[in-house]
Amino acid sequence: MIGRNELCPCGSGKKYKKCCLQKNQLIEFTRNKILYAKGLYKNMENKIYEYSKTSSFHNDRDVCTKKFHISQDSNPTIDKLYNTYFMYDYRNDKGNTITKMFIDDNKLTLSKNQINLLSSMLKANISIFKIEDIGITKSIIRDYFNDNKIVVEDVDALKNLKVGQSIIGRTVNVQGMNIFVDECIKVSDKNLKIILDNIKQLYKSNSRKTKSIKEFVIYNSELIYKFGQQILLNDKSHILNSLNTQVKKEIESKDNNNSDVNIYDALRNNMEEKYLQKGLDLWRGFIKSNKSIKGSENGWAAAIEYYIKKDAGEIITQAQVSEKYEISPRTLGKRYKELRAS
Ligand SMILES: [Zn+2]
């Protein structure tokens, strides 16, 4: 602890209270917020991890191990990456992730906050980023595959890195803050070029199945994880082999993958309190009898709202509701018919 009136440790010659005190307090404050967010994440991750260890997933674990690892050697960093991949990215033969199944099995006992966190965890994905700015409490990274900028408040995550460098990383949004899941892997410029060229090439030969290179990378995240492993396992951090990984033949379309968690979210964010419970119940009943659900979450949520309000005798048009959810009246009409038919 440095006294307020002592000389500032930065060497400026000023008193601490007139120099770095405020800045350091801000860093400490942010660090505590991040620690709290990481705690929430860890807590939920432990629940999913326990779930993933049940015997029903033994076979999936074997399949996933073969798909993920590039070496037999055990390495704690890579084991951690493997767990992340297994829980959030790996899809079983029905196209479901462990996390998605965890949500489905625990839906009725999860709180709103837990559902929100899980929804963020489902949206998180590993990617390659350029570090565009490293600030005192906020840094900016840019995704090479879709150019999206992400502001991360994870103050210590980039401390050994510089602006302009590239990393493999996975961020997740917890309570409005982006934190890194697992450690970032530094990628040299030379490796960056190899990875990006390689992935572009794989995307080209498989592009019929995905809408964008970003989506391709999300559905084939083992590619990034494999490049990451090559960097971690090689002393010189060189990527020796380009990957010619066989890309999974059938990539589910984004619509198919739409988790109904997003629909609960859309309802909670849009529906009035007095109708919300009815809306949630209607949806719960609907998904029980309809296993495969296609279409955007907003389309479904809009149809549910329309359904409930109409039932309650409100005077409301499909056009009004579809505008609220930013979808076309046609989509609403279609989903509404499907709801009515069940
Ligand atoms: Zn100072």
Sheet (strand 166-174) strand order? 149-152, 139-143, 126-134, 166-174, 177-187
The helix/strand/coil state of 139 is strand
Q: What is the pLDDT of residue 74?
A: 77
Tokens at 115, concatenated: 């559902």
Kindly report, residue by residue over 302-340, the tens digit of the pLDDT.
999 999 999 999 889 999 999 888 888 999 999 999 999
Kindly report, residue by residue over 138-178, the tens digit of the pLDDT.
999 999 999 999 999 988 889 889 999 999 999 999 999 99
Tokens at 193, concatenated: 């070029």
Whole-number Å distance between alpha carbons of 146 and 151: 15
Kindly report, residue by residue over 185-207, the tens digit of the pLDDT.
999 898 898 899 888 888 888 76
Q: What is the pLDDT of residue 289?
A: 77
Angle at 298 between CA 295 and CA 299, to 5 degrees: 50
Q: What is the pLDDT of residue 251?
A: 35
Q: How far is the CA of 32 from the centre of ligand 1 (A)?
A: 21
Q: What is the pLDDT of residue 205?
A: 82
Whole-number Å distance between alpha carbons of 195 and 182: 20
Q: Per-residue confidence at 290, pLDDT binned at 50, 70, 90?
A: confident
Q: How far is the CA of 7 from the centre of ligand 1 (A)?
A: 8
**Ordered alpha helix ranges (H), the chain:** 21-52, 58-68, 76-84, 98-106, 112-123, 189-206, 213-219, 222-233, 254-257, 260-270, 273-289, 297-311, 318-324, 329-341
Q: How far is the CA of 338 from the centre of ligand 1 (A)?
A: 65
Q: How far is the CA of 162 from the centre of ligand 1 (A)?
A: 21
Q: How far is the CA of 13 from the centre of ligand 1 (A)?
A: 8
Which residues are bridge partners to 140 per DSSP? 133, 151
* Long-range CB contact pairs, 186-192, < 8 A, 24+: 186/161, 186/231, 186/237, 187/128, 187/231, 188/237, 188/238, 190/238, 191/227, 191/231, 191/237, 191/238, 191/239, 192/128, 192/144, 192/166
Q: What is the pLDDT of residue 202?
A: 85
Q: How far is the CA of 170 from the centre of ligand 1 (A)?
A: 33
pLDDT at 248 exceeding the cut of 50: no
Q: What is the pLDDT of residue 310?
A: 92
Per cent of the chain over pLDDT 90 is 60
Q: How far is the CA of 150 from the centre of ligand 1 (A)?
A: 29
Q: What is the pLDDT of residue 234?
A: 73
Q: How far is the CA of 177 from the centre of ligand 1 (A)?
A: 28
Kindly report, residue by residue over 93-102, the tens digit of the pLDDT.
899 999 999 9
For the segment 2-9, the average pLDDT, to the nearest whole number, is 93
Q: How far is the CA of 218 from the centre of ligand 1 (A)?
A: 43
Shortest CA distance to 126 belongs to which of 209, 33, 227?
A: 227
Q: Which backbone phi and psi does 303 adopt, to 5 degrees?
A: -65, -40
Q: What is the pLDDT of residue 296?
A: 82
Contacts of 297 (CB under 8 A, 6+ apart): 258, 260, 262, 263, 265, 266
Whole-number Å distance between alpha carbons of 156 and 342: 52
Whole-number Å distance between alpha carbons of 222 and 90: 9
Q: What is the pLDDT of residue 57?
A: 94
Whole-number Å distance between alpha carbons of 216 and 223: 10
Whole-number Å distance between alpha carbons of 99 and 23: 39
pLDDT at 254 exceeding the cut of 90: no
Rg from Cα positions in the chain:
23
Kindly report, residue by residue over 9-66, the tens digit of the pLDDT.
999 999 999 999 999 999 999 999 999 999 999 999 999 999 999 989 999 999 999 8
Whole-number Å distance between alpha carbons of 163 and 180: 17
pLDDT at 255 exceeding the cut of 50: no
Q: How far is the CA of 133 from the centre of ligand 1 (A)?
A: 21
Q: How far is the CA of 179 from the centre of ligand 1 (A)?
A: 27
HSE of 110 in the Cβ direction (CA atoms, 13 Å)? Answer: 20
Per cent of the chain over pLDDT 70 is 91
